[in-house]
């Protein structure tokens, strides 16, 4: 029942995103004339597709990624192979990132094929069964085609941004040549920028739903997946707070959506916990996090995040695991 509700919510969010975009595209095309705006939309779409195609190479350079040979970690390859077979997807390439922040991500394009990367920090801070659950989550993204869906969803607000930005410059540079035209262009630019902001929030909401959906994949295809993934989330959140001293979080900012856990928001979600000398097990850490009371500020900040609040996410895993 919980999974059906999640799927329907995802479909509804996508429908709302497409519906709003189509409606406002039609209005703007009617007001401004279709040729120039249509040309801009085509250019933005082509630019984003090109970015998607070369993104794996950019990600590899930013995160210090290299392919992980099977001979160097056969157990990890076996886990990915087994879950891929159970999920009936082609096994992706297994990659290793030099980041010491515990995280993982799935990515790829038609030029490179699908890839799953784990960071050195993930292997250093988590037990093998917890890494298995994280990989189950990332393979869920590939199964659900989240790379393609989120790219499509992200294009829509980008179009409004470029429309608003170009019309704003046009109105400013137009000056006094035709005040009515420049004034109208500026008004539409303001509306377009507002729509960009609204649609960006919808896209972030969709991203959070896709994270929950990938979590259900780990629960379904990994033995005792709910417990393992809960412990992984708890450890990653608390470990992220200890690794703030590096400048690696600035690199992470570039592709936050694709990460297993946003280190900045995860750190904030558990910042009140600190360290407890009475905490003797991973399950106690999970219980301590899930017992944390969510405040209004937590709920508001989550709206502006690509990932669910860690407390809510672990609580949801309890329901998925039932």
Cα–Cα distance measured from residue 227 to residue 286, given in angstroms and rounded to the nearest whole number: 9
Catalytic residues: 138
Which residues, other chains included, contact 211 with Cβ-Cβ below 8 Å and sequence gap of 6+?
307, 308, 313
pLDDT tens digit string along 47-86? 778 878 888 888 888 888 999 999 999 999 999 999 999 9
Is residue 101 a contact partner of residue 46, using CB atoms and an 8 Å limit?
A: no
Of residues 311 and 162, the one with the higher pLDDT is 311
- Structure tokens of 201? 């929030």
Cα–Cα distance measured from residue 236 to residue 231, given in angstroms and rounded to the nearest whole number: 8
Cα–Cα distance measured from residue 217 to residue 219, given in angstroms and rounded to the nearest whole number: 5
Percent of the chain predicted with pLDDT > 70: 81
pLDDT tens digit string along 240-286? 766 654 445 444 445 677 889 888 788 787 776 655 444 557 888 88
For helices 310-320 and 225-242, give the axis angle rounded to 10 degrees.
170
Per-residue pLDDT at 320: 77
Alpha carbon distance, N-terminus to C-terminus of the chain: 11
Cα–Cα distance measured from residue 115 to residue 105, given in angstroms and rounded to the nearest whole number: 8
Whole-prediction pTM value?
A: 0.86
Q: How many domains does one find in the chain?
A: 1
| Local confidence band at 6 (pLDDT 50, 70, 90 cut-offs) | confident
Domain extent at residue 203:
2-320
Closest CA to 139 of 95, 112, 105: 105
User: DSSP characters for 119-133?
Assistant: EHHHHHHS-HHHHHH
Distances (CA, A) of 104 to 26, 36, 189: 40, 41, 38
């Amino acid at each position: 029942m919980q999974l059906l509700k999640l799927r329907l919510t995802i479909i509804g969010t996508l429908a709302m995103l497409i519906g709003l975009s189509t409606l406002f595209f039609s209005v703007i095309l009617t007001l401004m004339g279709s040729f120039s705006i249509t040309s801009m939309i085509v250019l933005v779409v082509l630019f984003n597709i090109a970015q998607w195609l070369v993104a794996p190479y950019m990600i590899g350079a930013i995160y210090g990624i290299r392919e992980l040979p099977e001979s160097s970690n056969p157990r990890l390859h076996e886990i990915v192979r087994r879950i891929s077979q159970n999920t009936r997807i082609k096994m992706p390439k297994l990659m290793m990132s030099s980041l010491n922040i515990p995280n993982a991500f799935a990515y790829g394009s038609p030029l490179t094929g699908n890839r799953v990367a784990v960071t050195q920090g993930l292997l250093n801070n988590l037990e093998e069964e917890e890494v298995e659950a994280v990989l189950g989550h990332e393979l869920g993204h590939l199964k659900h085609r989240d790379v393609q869906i989120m790219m499509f969803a992200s294009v829509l607000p980008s179009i409004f941004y470029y429309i608003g930005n170009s019309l704003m410059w046009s109105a400013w540079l137009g000056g006094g040549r035709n005040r009515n035209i420049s004034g109208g262009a500026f008004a539409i630019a303001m509306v377009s920028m507002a729509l960009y902001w609204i649609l960006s929030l919808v896209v972030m909401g969709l991203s959070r739903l896709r994270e929950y959906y990938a979590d259900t994949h780990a629960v379904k295809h990994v033995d005792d997946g709910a417990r393992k993934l809960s412990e992984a989330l708890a450890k990653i959140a608390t470990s992220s707070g200890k690794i703030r001293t590096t400048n690696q979080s600035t690199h992470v900012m570039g592709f936050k959506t694709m990460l297993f856990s946003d280190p900045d928001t995860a750190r904030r979600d558990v910042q009140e916990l600190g360290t407890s000398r009475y905490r003797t097990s991973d399950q106690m850490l999970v219980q301590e996090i899930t017992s944390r009371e969510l405040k209004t500020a937590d709920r508001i900040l989550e709206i502006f995040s690509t990932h669910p609040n860690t407390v809510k996410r672990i609580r949801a895993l309890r329901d998925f695991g039932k």
